[in-house]
């Protein structure tokens, strides 16, 4: 692992280290602000998929408070990030939710996902923290 980091990944590690030294890591509060600006219209203010535009969308927006429950109690950070960031092979018209890639790739922070340091757009790192913080922990009935 150390050999790998010292070799091919060194420029990436140095870039990420410089970014996090100059700026603080995003928090769930930062993610809540991003969510309010970009997600509430469809997913609703409580992230339950009942935003003002939800009724007109097919499929309806997901209840984001249930991601961990649907994943055996563990928040699926890698899957959520992959879906939110967007598949570069699919355009916006291929899915209802917009892709949040593009210019975000210019400001990456290191996030550990499934035990692997993953370069993640700053806004989406905060959004992941926020989404994890709103998971419904009530036992299933």
pLDDT tens readout for residues 29-40: 999 999 999 999
What pLDDT shows up at residue 139?
Answer: 54
Assign residue 136 a region (left: φ > 0; alpha: ψ between -120 and 50; beta: otherwise): beta
Tokens of 11: 């420029």
CA atoms within 13 A on the CB side of 76: 14
Residue of 104, 109, 115 whose CA lies nearest to 26: 109
Residue of 124, 140, 122 whose CA lies nearest to 132: 124
| Spatial distance between the Cα atoms of 57 and 42, rounded to a whole number of angstroms | 8
Tokens of 130: 């926020």
Confidence of residue 104 (pLDDT cuts 50, 70, 90): confident
Tokens of 61: 């927006």
What pLDDT shows up at residue 11?
Answer: 52
Confidence of residue 1 (pLDDT cuts 50, 70, 90): very low
pLDDT reading at 7 higher than 90: no
Could you tell me the pTM of the whole model?
A: 0.76
Residue with tokens 């995003």: 26
What percentage of the chain carries pLDDT values higher than 70? 72
Q: Which residues contact 105 (CB under 8 A, 6 or more apart)?
A: 121
Quote the mean pLDDT of the chain. Answer: 80
pLDDT reading at 57 higher than 50: yes
pLDDT reading at 63 higher than 90: yes
């Amino acid at each position: 692992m150390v050999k790998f980091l010292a070799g091919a990944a060194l420029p990436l590690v140095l870039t990420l280290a410089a970014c996090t030294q100059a700026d603080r890591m995003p928090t769930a509060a930062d993610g809540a602000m991003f969510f309010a600006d970009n997600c509430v219209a469809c997913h609703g203010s409580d992230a339950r998929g009942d935003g003002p535009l939800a009724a007109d969308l097919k499929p309806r927006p997901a209840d984001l408070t249930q991601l961990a429950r649907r994943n055996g109690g563990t928040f699926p950070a890698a899957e959520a990030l992959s879906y939110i960031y967007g598949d570069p092979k699919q355009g916006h018209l291929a899915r209802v939710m917009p892709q949040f890639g593009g210019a975000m790739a210019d400001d990456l922070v290191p996030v550990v996902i499934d035990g692997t340091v993953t370069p993640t757009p700053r806004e989406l790192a905060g959004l992941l923290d926020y989404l994890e913080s709103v998971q419904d922990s009530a036992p299933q009935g």
